[in-house]
Amino acid sequence: MADPESPAEFWNQRRAELPELPEALPEVWGFGAVPAHADELLGLVLAGVKTGTASSLWDYEATGDALPEVGDYSVILDGAGAPRAVIQTTALEVVPFHRVDAEHARAEGEGDRTLAHWREVHERYWRTYSDSPRGFEPDMPVLCERFRLVYPVG
């Protein structure tokens, strides 16, 4: 079996197809905390259902990772760590958890796409997987990100 394609090889191939992409390899990451999350959420992105995501600002502070910016590209990994998609950030807003709205919950594409479902799943996620010792609080700052799928184009 051939070795999986590296993110750099994947990016160079995408740049050959889409010359408007920047030369430098962007952030490379997968959705969720475990392989099953990554595969499920990537599937929603590839189906055009998921156009938003949410992150704990506290987690960014805990890890020291740079915050995304509008216009940034990302290479998205599947649960096995293979590069599968390119997205571009189109909007960012930091809001308290309890102020995330139904429109954002719908854009995340998960479950029945309601705000109630979004709150339940995300509270459980941050209580279980947060990188920050602060974990979850109802007023915690949440980075609501919207994005567009750049590759593959459906």
Catalogue all structural domains in the chain, each as residue range(s) with its CATH number: 7-151 (3.10.400.10)
Beta bridge partners of 75: 28, 86
**Structure pTM?**
0.94
At residue 139, the pLDDT reads: 98
Residue 1 reports pLDDT greater than 60: no
At residue 153, the pLDDT reads: 79
- Report residue 3's pLDDT band, with 50, 70 and 90 as the boundaries: low
Distance, CA of 97 to CA of 46 (rounded, Å)? 26
Q: Do the Cβ atoms of 92 and 143 come closer than 8 Å? A: yes
